[in-house]
Structure 1
Amino acid sequence: MKNDTCILGISAYYHDSAAALIRNGHIVAAAQEERFTRKKHDAGFPAHAIEYCLREAGIALCDVDQMVFYDKPLVKFERLLETYLAYAPRGFRSFLTAMPVWLKEKLYLKSVLKKELSALAHCKPSELPPLLFTEHHQSHAASAFFPSPFQKAAVLCLDGAGEWASTSVWLGDNNQLTPCWQIDFPHSLGLLYSAFTYYTGFKVNSGEYKLMGLAPYGEPVYVDLILDHLLDLKEDGTFRLDMSYFDYATGLTMTNSRFDALFGGPARQAEGELTQREMDIAASIQKVTETVLLRLGRTIKKELGVDHLCMAGGVALNCVANGELLRAGIFTDIWIQPAAGDAGGALGAALSVWYEYLDNPRTANPDDDMQGGYLGCHYSNDEVETYLKSVHAPYRRFDDGVLMQRLTEILDGGNVVGWMQGRMEFGPRALGSRSILGDARSAKMQSVMNRKIKYRESFRPFAPVVKAERVGDYFMHQGKSPYMLIVAPVKENIRLPVADMQKQLFGIEKLNVPRSQLPAITHVDDSSRLQTVHKETNPHLYHLLDAFEARTGCAVLINTSFNVRGEPIVNTPGDAYRCFMRTEMDYLVIGNCLLAKADQPAWEKDDEWQDEFELD
């Protein structure tokens, strides 16, 4: 008799498609489709991700008890029609563009999904497990609350828009989520931030983190302009947008000519020169976002009277705003789903079925249930060696202790190391499983990594990884931050004095001023995006940090994602080796195998990645 209940969650067709599989409430596997197809933010049916999850669980698709999609497409179609009718005749062009896709595919999503799933399972659609649908924000809320370390908590979901909701508040208690209230499309903090992402020349749905990273170079001089014209913000944090400045509800762009006139010119062209105006705009919309989040937090605390807050949705990836909310002390603690965007909806949908639909009991895990975010593919040393031999890549295999000592010498010598260990991360952040590592004490490491390894904009900061018990020695933060979702100031005692002349610098000029004893991970506003490393969830990286501290006295390294600009984070040993050879990384370690760039055969074409990956 079968005792296990397996639930497959799916998100697809908008951006960041993913699959997640849970067994008896335990998360077995979760992965984004982009990691397999090598197409960033891949929105297609997540066939590879589903196959991986089933492999990890050791089951076939027909062994699954329930399948669940993270969204209700018919309700979303209703919103689309109502929006076009409300704004008619404006937006007719956009309507004509959207309708064929909906009438051909999205309106009949249940049939499309069953066709794809039956092809995957090599069976008839009628032989598939039942297919369920959750609401979009319900999936986000479930992904935030059910894996969290809290038995009872408020839940705040903020994104562009689901079916209707763009902001929603829930009460999570034991195994149930109760919706409290929501703000509906087109009034959306996520879309407001995306509008400024578009206006400053970055790509919507992928460039928002660039806007956040650019903000400290500017001054928030446009805050009043935004609040006077674009955003009617109430004291309780609720808001409405003046849609006469935006085109996303009816058009094919985010902003319009009225928006241009308000900010004194057209949107910056992609890859164009960044000026002080873009930096000041970034600082301003970031400040507004933090203000909204703080007001919402105070309102939620007052209304629900709970000590803990969980968060999900794309806006929950704004780790600067998260840090401000945490330090405000409104809640005793905050937990944010590491895959806060649409990918995490696949996991939330599966958990919602297990707890809410099937009414299974829940006991919160004090360490959370995300297993450090390490829910993806893994490769044995034998598999790694088989691959390396197939491409004639010289390597040496070391035992753990010897390897860590060798790596600390390499890092202490100013080298950059590609690091691939254990299970791949789920979500947008590299959390020390598919990472590029460097010495945070190096004054040149930030520019070297941006220019020679990542091939990305010079203004973008790098994040530190720090042993969990040492975080308070370097940063103004106490407690865990395992998912790189909190920004905190660097401690005063490791900051460097800044000369009066340097204080007068503007914009990118600030970049070359060393600000702490860890200059490579200290942003121009003396902040860092923290990741605490824990023995229990990432023993390999913890061991490396331990060895590095023993050698240097420093328990911090730079951690950035193992990819080049526009490329998804690497998945396989082959992905890792190609990225290593295409860049100026000095060493690569996969499992216990160490490769030196100097020993490798010649790589024919250094700029292949530019042809393969579309710029983000």
Structure 2
Amino acid sequence: MTSILGISAFYHDSAASIINNGKIISAAQEERFTRIKHDSKYPHNAVNFVLKHSNLKLSEVDHIVFFEKPFLKFERLLETYVAFAPKGFLQFTKSMPIWLKEKLFQKKLLFNHLKEHDSDFNNENKICFSEHHLSHAASAFFPSPFEEAVILTADGVGEWATTTVAVGKGNQLEIKKEIHFPHSLGLLYSAFTYYTGFKVNSGEYKLMGLAPYGNPIYENKIKKLIDIKDDGSFMLDQNYFNYSTGLTMTNTKFNHLFGQKPRDPKKDQLTQFHMDIAASIQKVTEEVMIKLAKAIRKEYNIVNLCLAGGVALNCVANGKILKQKIFENIWIQPAAGDAGGSLGAALALWHIEQGNKREVNQEDDMNGSYLGSEFSQDEIEKELNSIGANYQTFDYENLINETSEHLSKQKIIGWFQGRMEFGPRALGGRSILGDPRSDKMQKNLNLKIKYRESFRPFAPSVLREDLSNWFDMNVDSPYMLLVSDINPAKKFEMNDEQKELFGIDKLNIKRSEIPAVTHVDYSARIQTVNKKTNKRYYDLISKFKEKTSCPVIVNTSFNVRGEPIVNSPTDAFNCFMGTELDYLVIGNCILDKNKQDPNLKKDYTKEFELD
């Protein structure tokens, strides 16, 4: 058996993955263990986890592969400085010492970190390096259900590439073309994330969630920043940006163009202006992605599309590509960001470098993305006892029945079952669940549970066989990476008075039979659930349907704003006691908030730095 350890680190979302003979065994982000969101440090805990899960010592691992090439990245940094000099000297002087001390000699740095796991590990030659976008492309193609596909990757920046097109066939994958830094769709989107007062590399999904509240009236102004060709390739006018040379994303010329300074999240409220900006950049991003998709479909005449890179988490754009039927099939890597690079790097080494055969799995090879840690019933009870939790244990049938009963009475539930998800989305392993029929659920979840902005939408988990009765879509979406509209039969049309409302005022209007998961534009970010990948979650939704005739439940990640998704029973209990969750269902145990020791209550509102 050949085992390969993949590592991504030192930018954001550090992670580790292990594959054995090409089969994906385990993968996890470091943030889940350290409780630091988007943790970028060497993933010590994640490496420990994947090794332990595979019953391997590090010295027994055959290859260790890092997801990008530090020398190429360093070259980009130097060349960018030379190209823009003397601008950018401050940024250059800040980054150089870190590069010269740590990043440039990454093999040595990695070797020293790796030795901490196993003193018997002494072979530096086991460490090798992939390329950033090759890692993304490999993470999208090799686990996909396709024998052949065209692969589109887009993010901020790797070494030089920001967007790539590759073709995969069998066990081979070749990058055909690239767009290079400083021209980047990911950095353009992040510039607007920064401008609207959200955190770069963290708040992009907020910008996407804000977009339906606005109108894209700044589209033409954005097109002064980006020159989009018919084939979707593009160039950014660097006169408006500061990311190449400064310590911010945008500059005063950018501010003048749009007429305002960047929003200060500590002082400035979100206004209609920010909603219109969000709508405008979302529309331009969709235009680029659709043009790219159409051009590569025509050029390569391949019917399957795979997506990865941070931009592939823009599920609204993905939904538009799907709706336009540009490709027959689309598959998106659930850990599309840098975390997934750890997995892609390992798969690239196994298939491309070593030429090993690839078995195509018609479902896909990600195991529902349930690749993280898992706790036995004994371990769960041991942790709960040591905390002083009050719980009741149920057999399987009664657990499902009790939980669905609480949900049907509009109670909010922390759900901790099976293996933790890999990637940014909770998919029914570490989730907070609610009743989608409630018109107060969205507001309550945002303000009382998640402690976050009221405009943020929630996703529905729906039984796969009931999907098209409730949503305008009929393809699998197991990873919550496609957006579609509510089925017209389930919609409530707005009256003229309601249509006139602005921005956030639209939020409180009941727009469908499942208002808690219906965004203001009648869209929803859908997760389809099937029995094969998550039986317990499937059975819960089925029982809820039996009681309510509704095969949909609200699913959001089990955490508060600024906190990584919970990883251990203790994390879950802390979040349960720090929020207004009604019940915690963990393994075969149900915890009732009213029966807990009030001294164990936590003040969670200040626990985590806001994202």
Please tell me the TM-score bracket, short chain as reference: over 0.9
SS in 1 for 2:428: coil
| Residue matched to 1:402 | 398
Aligned to 1:308: 304
Give the corresponding residue for 1:98. Answer: 95
What's the counterpart of residue 26 of structure 2?
29
2:229 paired with 1:218: no
- Give yes or no for contact 1:237–1:292 (8 Å, CA) kept in 2: yes
Task: Tell me the equivalent position of 2:317.
Answer: 321
Q: Cα deviations across residues 78-130 of structure 1 (Å, max 9, x unaligned)?
A: 00000000000011111111101101100111110001001221236x33561
Contact 1:69 1:132 (8 Å CA) reproduced: yes
Which of 227, 233, 236 is the matching residue for 2:228? 233
Contact 2:579 2:604 in 1 (8 A): no
1:183 is matched with 179
Question: Number of residue pairs matched?
Answer: 610
Residue identity in the other structure for 2:480: M
Matched ranges for 1:38-49 at <5 A? 38-49=35-46
Contact 1:62 1:128 survives alignment (8 Å): no
Tell me, in whole angstroms, the C-alpha distance in 2 between the residues paired with 1:266 and 1:202: 14
Give the direction of change, closer, same or farther, for the CA distance of 1:320–1:603 in structure 2 (3 Å limit). farther
Whether the aligned pair in 1 keeps the contact of 2:286 and 2:317 (CA below 8 Å) is yes
Paired position in structure 2 for 1:442: 438
Q: Which residue of structure 1 lines up, in the alignment, with residue 83 of structure 2?
A: 86
What is the deviation of 1:567? 0.3
- Residue 309 of structure 2 contacts residue 336 of structure 2 at CA under 8 Å; is this kept in 1? yes
**Is the 2:387–2:570 Cα contact (8 Å) retained in structure 1?**
no
Q: How does 1:345-360 map to 2 (within 5 A)?
A: 345-360=341-356
1:428, 1:119 → 2: CA distance? 28
Partner of 2:453: 457
| Structure 2 equivalent of residue 515 of structure 1 | 511
DSSP-derived class of the 1:105 partner: helix
> Contact conserved, 1:166 with 1:185, CA < 8 A, in 2?
yes
Per-residue CA distance 1:380-433 (angstroms, 9 max, x = gap): 111111111112211111011111111111011110000000000000000010
Q: Which residue of 2 aligns with 1:269?
A: 264
Consecutive unaligned residues in structure 1, runs of 5 or more: none
Write out per-residue CA displacement over residues 225-247 of structure 1, whole angstroms, 9 at most, x where no aligned residue.
111x1000111100000000000
Per the alignment, residue 156 of structure 1 pairs with 152
- Which residue, 135, 138, 141 being the options, matches 2:134? 138
Match of 1:69 among 66, 70, 76: 66
Unaligned segments of structure 2, at least 5 residues: none
Q: How far off its partner does 1:446 sit?
A: 0.3
Equivalent residue, structure 2, for 1:369: 365
Worse-superposed segment, 389-398 or 35-44: 389-398
Structure 2 counterpart of 1:67, one-letter code: I
1:336 aligns with 2:310: no
Percent identity between matched residues is 58
Alignment of 1:470 with 2:475, yes or no, is: no
Q: Secondary structure at the match of 1:172?
A: strand
1:401-550 alignment runs, 5 A limit: 401-550=397-546
- Structure 2 contact 73–158 (Cα < 8 Å) conserved: yes
Contact kept in structure 1, 2:32 and 2:565, CA below 8 Å: yes
Report the AA paired with residue 260 of structure 2: G
1:513-559 CA-partner distances (Å, limit 9, x unpaired):
11000000000000000000111110010000110111110000000
Q: Match of 2:117, SS?
A: helix
Q: Distance in 2 between matches of 1:382 and 1:119?
A: 30
**Counterpart position of 1:20:** 17
Q: How far does the alpha carbon of each residue in 1:182-220 deviate from its partner, in whole angstroms, 9 at most, with x for none?
A: 100000000000000000000000000000000000000
1:233·1:239 contact (CA, 8 Å) conserved in 2?
yes
Q: Which residue of 1 aligns with 2:3?
A: 6
Post-superposition shift, 1:605?
A: 5.5
Map Cα deviations across residues 15-44 of structure 1 (whole Å, 9 max, x no partner). Answer: 000000000111110000000000000000
SS in 1 for 2:105: helix
Q: Which residue of 2 aligns with 1:378?
A: 374
Determine helix, strand or coil for the equivalent of 1:153.
strand
Residue 559 of structure 1 is matched in structure 2 by 555
CA contact (8 A) 1:489 1:527 kept: yes
Gap change, CA 1:604 and 1:441, over 3 Å in 2: same
- Does the Cα contact within 8 Å between 1:216 and 1:524 map onto a contact in 2? yes
Confirm or deny that 1:614 pairs with 2:599.
no
Q: CA deviation at 1:606?
A: 3.8
Residue 487 of structure 1 aligns to a residue whose secondary structure is strand
Give per-residue Cα distances to partners, 1:547-603, cap 9 Å, x unaligned.
011111000000000000100000000000000000000000001100000000014
- CA shift, 1:138, in A, is 0.3
Provide the residue aligned with 2:578 in structure 1. Answer: 582
1:76 partner SS: helix
User: Structure 1: which amino acid aligns with 2:253?
Assistant: R
CA contact (8 A) 1:62 1:129 kept: no
Deviation at 1:64?
A: 0.5
Superposed displacement of residue 609, structure 1: 5.0
Q: Which amino acid aligns with 1:244?
A: N
Mapped partners of 1:105, 1:605: distance in 2 = 42
- The answer on whether the counterparts of 1:562 and 1:570 sit within 8 Å (CA) in structure 2 is yes
Deviation, 1:604, is: 5.5
| Secondary structure class of the residue paired with 2:167 | strand
Amino acid at match of 1:234: K
The answer to whether the Cα contact below 8 Å between 1:65 and 1:129 also exists between their aligned partners in 2 is no
Quick check: 1:582–1:603 contact (8 Å CA) kept in 2?
A: no
Aligned partners of 1:233 and 1:335: how far apart in 2?
25
Letter in 2 for 1:48: N
Residues 1:605 and 1:591: Cα distance change in structure 2 (over 3 Å) = closer
User: 2:569 matched to which residue of 1?
Assistant: 573
Name the residue aligned to 2:274: 278
Q: 2:246 aligns with which of 248, 251, 256?
A: 251
Out of 48, 53, 68, the residue aligned to residue 56 of structure 1 is: 53
Structure 1, 558-567 or 383-392: larger mean CA deviation: 383-392
Structure 1 CA distance for aligned equivalents of residues 604 and 203 of structure 2: 23
Checking the alignment, whether the CA contact within 8 Å between 2:451 and 2:605 is kept in structure 1 is no
